[in-house]
Structure 1
Amino acid sequence: MSDDAFELTEPTLTADDLLVLDDPRFGPETASIVTGAASGIGRATALALAANGLTVVAADIDADGLDETVAKGVDIGVDGDIVPVEADLTDDAEVEAIVETAVEQGDLRYVANIAGMQHIASIPNFPMEMYDRLLDIMLRAPFLLSKLAMPHIREAEGYGAIGNMSSAHGHYATKDKAAYITAKHGLNGLTKCIAAEGEGTLRGFSVSVGYVLTPLMVNQIEDTAEERGISEQEVVEDVMLGQARTKEMMTPAEVANLFVFGFSQHGKHLNGGDMLWDGGYTTTYE
């Protein structure tokens, strides 16, 4: 494949892509929160939870993207309502408003901390303002959302779960992604802390995957190519998929389905653990 022919685009999500499970707590009276819901994995997770009949508070700073998520839900015929909330996760008052909105919608039981960002640079060249923003969005905000949501989950008979979007990079490190890797390792620690305090019924879990066809990932290819002095095709074939045994990227819907399973009654023994679906990135090598 030549560089001229090389192109990656996010796949079109359909209703058939989404996992739908029977669960006594999956209904309109149950509220859930999904951050980063304007695109990518966050959008797919909001749609997947709504497809299971949940009321979904979809939070993101991108209001237009949230409108597209709501429209997509109508288009594919999800059963649950998607309630968009424009919010900056670096603003504590706006994070509090996300939780307040969810509580107004029903019994808050589930939180999916998915919002993320990326910046490619070596540690000596990493801008501290970018480091601070990345950690605020990807680690501090999940902590605050958990802090605010846990009392409400306990009020809902104590049954619920907080799912955190980790990564294969929450298990190991590569160069030029120090802030992202630091955040993901910290998020794994937060997951275990939630489980430690959840008394068995309020669960914490994380989801770790390799590279996923999202706008964040597609934008990252160009940055990585520039930082490493290689072609974009080489980034995908050698950097992103070179170490994997499954030679294709996951789709946002496939990741969203892991959150559906983790939140459901079928995931009741998933507590403090990580769902590692990385195509062999961290468990095999040559």
Structure 2
Amino acid sequence: MSSQPGSDSDSLSPPPITKERVLTLDDPRFSTENVAVVTGAASGIGRATAIALAVNGLTVVGLDIDESGLDETIETVDSLDAEGRLVAAPADLTDDEETEAAIEAAAEEGSIRYLANIAGMQHIASIPDFPMDTYDRLTDVMLRAPFLLSKLVMPHIRATDDGVGAIGNMSSIHGRYATRDKATYITAKHGLNGLTRSIAAEGEGTLRGYSVSVGYVLTPLMANQIEDTTEERGISEDEVIEDVMLGQARTKELMLPVEVANLFVLGFSSHAKHLNGGDLLFDGGYTLTYE
């Protein structure tokens, strides 16, 4: 495996997020009066995105079932002396009442303009062996919850003084093609792409929908996936990383969560006003090249 910044062969942990790693943009709507809702904010890409948006001056409301993880994200924002702030809204995204309450709480913090649907799950199994209760929970978190959250947030964006805002959805290279043993994840990501385009179709130009698609990112979810794939395929962890995860990529390096977070910063900004219904594909050449 290629070396990662701040890690070695015995560690699959990304380096700490610093202000220098965060893309900061001068945008008139990036202020504490405006709110960005971020799901999965207790860890991984969700945490990095919540931090990056707070550094850019927004009030961020972080949703996650992991309350202690949300507290750690808040501590990081505070330690960076961010221009914005982070407020925790603990919620189980499979519970409609908790999800609705979280958006109500977010609306009390300012004008909701942005939503980042990032929370995700993974389960490695073939279709015949895939447990349906796991299928239901995974699609509830990764597809139904983003739909509900979009339903709840869109009226808030439309109610702002200019109706400008955006919903960014965490898709994947697996929203573009399929590999074995990830059928539910792939199904959810393809569905999320459809939701993205539907938001754009109904957004009248000022309320945008976009998605972010990346390859393999150095997150706790990815670390668990390595172990599961090792067991499912009967190969070593190094083989999973080098052959399964990075084998098809041209850039032989796992992405960092903050690098993905920066794509959401760009996508929410006025610099991306023509990004509507489209996908930010940063995959190191994974999906569109071959040997």
**CA-CA distance at 1:11 after TM superposition:** 2.2
SS of the residue 2:13 aligns to = coil
Identity %: 72
For 2:121, the equivalent position in structure 1 comes to 117
Residues of 2 paired with 1:42 and 1:77: CA distance? Answer: 19
User: Residues 33 and 56 of structure 1 are in contact (CA less than 8 Å); yes or no, is this contact kept in structure 2?
Assistant: yes
Residue aligning to 1:281: 286
The CA deviation at 1:81 is 1.3
Residue equivalent to 1:152: 156
Residues in 1 aligned to 2:231 and 2:17: alpha-carbon distance in whole angstroms? 30
Distance in 2 between residues matched to 1:251 and 1:13, nearest whole Å: 10
Tell me which residue corresponds to 1:90: 94
Moved more, 98-107 or 81-90: 98-107
Moved more, 70-79 or 261-270: 70-79
Give ranges in structure 1 of 5+ residues lacking alignment.
none
Q: Does 1:177 find its partner at 2:179?
A: no
Match of 1:189 in 2: 194
Contact 1:10 1:215 (C-alpha < 8 Å) held by counterparts: no
Measured after TM superposition, the shift of residue 101 of structure 1 is 1.2
1:244 pairs with one of 246, 249, 253: 249
SS at match of 1:105: coil
2:90 partner letter: E
- What TM-score does the superposition give when structure 2 sets the normalisation length? 0.96
In structure 2, what is the Cα distance between the partners aligned to 1:68 and 1:15?
17
**Mapped partners of 2:11, 2:257: distance in 1:** 18
SS at match of 2:168: strand
CA RMSD after TM alignment: 0.9
Deviating 4+ runs (over 6 angstroms): none
Give, in whole Å, the separation in 1 of the partners of 2:173 and 2:251: 14
Assess if the C-alpha contact under 8 Å between 1:11 and 1:213 holds in 2: no
* Structure 1: distance between partners of 2:104 and 2:181: 37
Structure 2: 5+ residue stretches without partners: 2-8
TM-score (norm 1): 0.98
Distance 2:15 2:139 in 1: 29
Supply the distance in 2 between the matched residues of 1:77 and 1:183 (Cα, whole angstroms): 36
- CA deviations over 1:115-166 (Å, ceiling 9, x no partner): 0010000000000000000000000000000001001100012100000000
Alignment-derived partner of residue 208 in structure 2 = 203
Q: CA deviation at 1:12?
A: 1.7
2:134, 2:214 → 1: CA distance? 24
Identify the match of residue 20 of structure 2 among 16, 33, 48. Answer: 16
**Which letter does structure 1 place at the counterpart of 2:225?**
Q
Q: Which amino acid aligns with 1:73?
A: V
Q: Which amino acid aligns with 2:69?
A: G
Question: Equivalents in 2 of 1:246, 1:19: separation in Å?
Answer: 21
Deviations 1:161-186 (A, max 9, x none): 00000000000000000000000000
2:227 is aligned, of 222, 228, 232, to 222
| Counterpart-to-counterpart distance in 1, 2:106 and 2:63 | 10
Pick from 156, 168, 172 the counterpart of residue 163 of structure 1: 168
Count of aligned pairs between the two proteins: 283
Q: State the alpha-carbon separation in 2 of the partners of residues 183 and 209 from structure 1.
A: 15
Distance 1:232 1:52 in 2: 37
State the match for 1:136 in structure 2: 140
For residues 188 and 63 of structure 2, the distance between their equivalents in structure 1, rounded to whole angstroms, comes to: 20
